[in-house]
Amino acid sequence: MGKYSEYFGSPEFEVKLQDNIIVDIKVVRGAPCGATSEVAQDLIGLDAEEAITKIGLKTQFNCTADPAGWDPIGGKSPVHFAGEIHSRALKKAIQQAEKAKT
Domain locations in the chain as residue ranges: 3-101
Q: Which CATH number fits domain 3-101: 3.90.1310, 3.90.1010, 1.20.58, 2.30.110?
A: 3.90.1010
Residue-level pLDDT at 97: 96
CA dihedral 47→51→52→57, nearest 10 degrees, is: 150
Residue-level pLDDT at 66: 65
What Å distances lie between residue 76 and 43, 71, 102, CA to CA? 25, 5, 37
Residue-level pLDDT at 1: 46
> Phi and psi at residue 23, in whole multiples of 5°?
-105, -15
Q: What is the pTM of this model?
A: 0.85
Q: What is the pLDDT along the chain (102 residues), one digit of tens a residue?
A: 456 566 667 899 999 999 999 999 999 998 877 889 989 999 999 999 999 999 999 998 887 766 666 666 667 777 888 889 899 999 999 999 999 876
Residue type, 82: A
How many Å is the Cα radius of gyration of the chain?
A: 14
- Concatenating the DSSP letter of every residue in 36-63 gives HHHHHGGGTTSBHHHHHHHHHHHHHHH-
